[in-house]
Chains A and B, each alone.
Chain A
Amino acid sequence: MINLAATVKISLRALKINKMRSALTMLGIVIGVTAVIIMVAIGSGARERVSRQISSAGSNLLVVVPGSMTAGGIRMGFGTQANLTTKDAEAILKECPAVWDVSPEVHGAAQVVFGNQNWSTAITATTPSYLNVRDWLLDDGRNFSDQDIRNTTKVCIVGQTIVENLFAGQDPIDQIIRIKKVPFVVIGVLEAKGQDLMGQDQDDMILIPITTGRKKVFGSLRPDMVRSIIVKTVSTQELPQAETQIQELLRQRHHIGPKEEEDFTVRNLTQMLQMAEKSTRIMTMLLGAIASISLLVGGIGIMNIMLVSVTERTREIGIRMAVGAKVRDIRLQFITEALILSMIGGAIGIIMGIAGAKLIALLTDWSAMVSLPATAAAFGFSGLVGIFFGFYPAYKASLLNPIEALRYE
């Protein structure tokens, strides 16, 4: 058995003789591995972005909004009917086993003033359960209490964007801001959440107790009404059950006959996001698969060059056979050569792929995440390509007739 160190030495010498040719052959593998790493990095980046959005929206969420109001044959769109109430929210929490928590809310926009600063932002009037439902934590201060809701206290929790724009470095806690001229005490600061799926800044918001909102900020509302109810289910698996339970319950509560149209809509937010994640995952796989084709093409390049090499070195093979090289010695030598070509190509490809992914992330606003398994797979695959496409030329070389090989000019 010929020893491996000598085989590698012989192979390296053979590859050095045709430097340009070896380099070009490697280039095929380099491009293939680079492409796989960059493509998968871009795909994983997109996926990561979507799953970040999923978690920032809060998981396992359903949103119940009132149906469309019809006035003289003109339908006004979702949420225009004022028929959802706090009682509906309480009933959903109590009657639907798949529901873990609910948060009714009323929202609108308002001008907010602090000192000589002012800012226009979204106001969400809601209950203490809102933070739990949205998986949102406080950076500072405290949440509303049930007492705040009962007493219509004028307190508020502000988002990070508000802190930046209104308070400019000051500690917002216990400061008094005016929302539509009504003074509110800041009792808490929300942690930063970033953009949602549509690119909206989720931190540009102020939370106030729902009762205070109805009475002092939005006015002219039915005392009990809510604009929407966010529902958190026990688990992702129970989203469909929760949806049906809520539909049945609200049909009953709103006295809707079996053939009548519902006066509310249940939207499944998580499902939408999960679909988005699934499609980016498929995209990643597709990109990786397309890039793998270039790796395959690189492998064919190796086979091509190895076949040329076997023909050129027929006499050398004959000499080796005459002095006692066995079939497997010849095979091992040519496979080693192919493997060295593909492994060096793969290593360069990894470096270029990682550099390329970082560069793309730097120059564009795409996020590119280099995935370790994809990198390892690309390298392993390039090695397999070397063995696979090196095998046929090596097999061909090993079956040469020694006499004819020795006579070959």
Chain B
Amino acid sequence: MALIETVGLKKIYNLGGSVIAALDGITTNIEKGEFVAIMGPSGSGKSTFMNLIGCLDKPTAGRCFLEGMDIGCLNRDELAVIRNKKIGFVFQSFNLLPRTSAIENVELPMLYSGLSPLDRKLRARKALKMMGLEGREEHLPNQLSGGQQQRVAIARALVNDAPLIMADEPTGNLDTKASEEIMELFVKLNEESHITVILVTHEHDIAAFSKRIIRFLDGKIVSDEKRSRP
């Protein structure tokens, strides 16, 4: 069974009378353990696709299955549970809570899955250690560099043992060195922990870390190539 399966997935926006098809019938499969880069110019529908398979939004038409479950027929709270347990998000702008320490940011998903305070602390500490942030648990986001902030965000994405990480331009705000470090972290997670990584980017050297590249244009898939990592 594919981890993600979409059939004729459509998302249509009605903006002031003009109908825009952000996604126009996407049918594709992503297997467990894949490392997929989704590429395309802005407005091609790649972010919309991410939002749909990331359970942040609902399709207008078509179906989307996550581990065989049709997420189109789930309500807000059921989608929240899936985001909590199955998906870890990493954003371009990090999206850490300001004025909140690194460890508390990492604890956030566990707050909504009902873990005890002690378990939350232990697991968050472990996740930060894995990201090489030992000793920085009590730092606030504005006391950390961009690369460190993104690693806190990855720790947050991993802490609930999500099998799937969705990264939307994770290196967009980072310099080349930090970008590379972050990408190597994703590769390590994919290879050693068999976590499925879906990456949205428009940079070729970032997409080069992936094993499969799907290109979007005008809401449609224009190419889908599997490749071996260099």
List residues of chain A with CB under 8 Å of any chain B CB: 1-3, 5-6, 13, 17, 315-316, 318-329, 401-403, 406
CA distance A305 to B178 in the complex (A): 40
Q: Which residues of B contact A17 (CB under 8 A)?
A: 99
List residues of chain B with CB under 8 Å of any chain A CB: 51, 56-57, 76-77, 80-81, 83-85, 89, 91, 95-100, 108-109, 111-114, 117, 156, 160
Q: Which residues of B contact A1 (CB under 8 A)?
A: 114
Q: A403-B51, A403-B56 are in contact. Are A323 and B97 (CB under 8 A)?
A: no
Q: A403-B57, A406-B91 are in contact. Are A327 and B77 (CB under 8 A)?
A: yes
Q: A3-B114, A5-B117, A329-B112 are in contact. Are A324 and B81 (CB under 8 A)?
A: yes
CA distance A171 to B68 in the complex (A): 103
Find out whether the CB atom of B89 lies under 8 angstroms from the CB atom of A322: yes
Q: Which residues of B contact A323 (CB under 8 A)?
A: 83-84, 89, 108-109, 112, 156
Closest residue of chain B to A328, judged by CB?
Answer: B77
Q: Which residues of B contact A327 (CB under 8 A)?
A: 76-77, 80
Main secondary structure of the interface of A (DSSP, over half): helix
What is the CB-to-nearest-CB distance from A272 to chain B, in angstroms, rounded to a whole number?
Answer: 66
Interface centre among A3, A5, A17, A402 (most CB of B within 10 A): A402
Q: A17-B99, A326-B81 are in contact. Are A320 and B91 (CB under 8 A)?
A: no
Interface centre among B56, B77, B91 (most CB of A within 10 A): B56
Interface centre among A6, A318, A322, A326 (most CB of B within 10 A): A322
CA distance A319 to B83 in the complex (A): 11
Closest residue of chain A to B159, judged by CB?
Answer: A323
CA distance A403 to B108 in the complex (A): 18
CA distance A329 to B84 in the complex (A): 13
Interface centre among B77, B85, B111, B117 (most CB of A within 10 A): B111
What is the CB-to-nearest-CB distance from B165 to chain A, in angstroms, rounded to a whole number?
Answer: 13
What is the CB-to-nearest-CB distance from A57 to chain B, in angstroms, rounded to a whole number?
Answer: 65
CA distance A328 to B98 in the complex (A): 22
Interface centre among B80, B89, B97, B160 (most CB of A within 10 A): B80
Identify the 5 closest CB pairs spanning chains A and B, nearest first: A324-B84, A323-B109, A324-B112, A326-B77, A326-B80
Q: Which residues of B contact A326 (CB under 8 A)?
A: 76-77, 80-81, 112
Task: List 7 additional contacts besides A322-B56, A324-B80, A406-B56; criterion CB under 8 Å.
Answer: A319-B108, A320-B112, A321-B80, A323-B84, A323-B112, A324-B85, A326-B77
Find out whether the CB atom of A319 lies under 8 angstroms from the CB atom of B95: yes
What is the CB-to-nearest-CB distance from A319 to chain B, in angstroms, rounded to a whole number?
Answer: 5
What is the CB-to-nearest-CB distance from B143 to chain A, in angstroms, rounded to a whole number?
Answer: 17
